[in-house]
Amino acid sequence: MFEIKNLSMIYDMESDDKLYALDGINLELPDTGLVGIIGPSGSGKSTLMYCMSSLKKPSEGVIKYKDKDITSIKDREREVLRRKEFGFVFQKHYLVPYMSALDNILVAGTDSTEELVENAKTYMKQLGLKEAEFRKKPAKLSGGQCQRVAIARAMINNPKVLFADEPTASLDHENSFNVMKILKKYSNDRLVIVVTHDRTVLSDVDILIEMWDGKISGVNSGN
Ligand SMILES: Nc1ncnc2c1ncn2[C@@H]1O[C@H](COP(=O)(O)OP(=O)(O)OP(=O)(O)O)[C@@H](O)[C@H]1O
Ligand SMILES: [Mg+2]
């Protein structure tokens, strides 16, 4: 599904101390499965995910998604691609403060049908949120609860690729495992890419990518 060649991302291009956030990345990923990206803070994990999801334009290299180079397509085409094919869970949850948890999920939906509402509730329940929390606004929810609402929001449109940047960062051990179990199941018929620095949540990944200083230092096929 993804074919990445010689991908580099240089921040502060003009300055003397150019920073290679990504440095000559080569990577191929299949159509389905759970992919983990692990590495220390600042190693380029988020930047790689932003480039793959076309939120950031790389300085060099090619990213082919379904045989098409998405680094050179027009902005409009890129927006359509993101809306139709990709789902995101950001490092921060970015929920709309004046909307309930449920409405925050529904607002991402392409059409507001009964089925969408049922799906939203099902995802929330699976993610360990209780009925009482569905109608609460983000300010009344804990960080971990907000994070799970953001995960449900990303799942609701059935994306072909789900990008999740530290989706378990504010969760306790038990909830982290539950979220990973759901993402694993969700990855049966799509690609799910999870960035984390917590190795323990990645026990069940199909592919593990290790990053170090803007480079891929290892790729392992999991179990
Ligand atoms: N917008 C930006 N402008 C300049 N430098 C940036 C920018 N975003 C990231 N960087 C730098 O690029 C490098 C990689 O950052 P990135 O956010 O991809 O790391 P990360 O692996 O996701 O880290 P973390 O685990 O802390 O989230 C870091 O050195 C960071 O300081
Ligand atoms: Mg990051």
Strand partners, 196: 38
Phi, psi of 89 (to 5 degrees): -120, 115
Q: Is residue 21 part of a domain?
A: no
State pLDDT tens for residues 164-213: 999 998 888 888 999 999 999 999 999 999 999 888 888 899 999 999 99
As for how many domains the chain has, the answer is 1
What is the Cα–Cα distance from 141 to 128, expressed in whole angstroms? 13
For residue 67, being part of any structural domain is answered with: no
| Separation between Cα atoms, residue 33 and residue 144, nearest integer Å | 25
Beta strand 2-11 pairing with 19-29: antiparallel
What are the phi and psi torsion angles at 100 (to 5°)? -70, 165
Q: Residue 104 falls within a domain, yes or no?
A: yes
Pocket test for ligand 1, best of 47, 90, 209 (most atoms within 8 A of CB): 47
Q: Note whether residue 14 is domain-resident.
A: no
In a domain, 47, yes or no: yes
Structural domain that includes position 137:
29-59+82-221
The verdict on residue 191 lying in a domain is yes
**Residue type, position 131, single letter:** E
Work out the burial of residue 131: count CB atoms within 10 Å of its CB; fewer than 13 is exposed, 13-18 middle, 19 or more buried.
Answer: exposed
114-162 pLDDT, tens digit each: 889 999 999 999 999 999 999 999 999 998 999 999 999 999 989 999 9
* Ligand 1 neighbour 21 (Cβ under 6 A): yes
Nearest to 53 by CA among 199, 148, 161: 161
| CATH (domain of 161) | 3.40.50.300
Q: Which of 8, 10, 11, 41 to mutate to test the pocket of ligand 1 (most atoms within 8 A of CB)?
A: 11
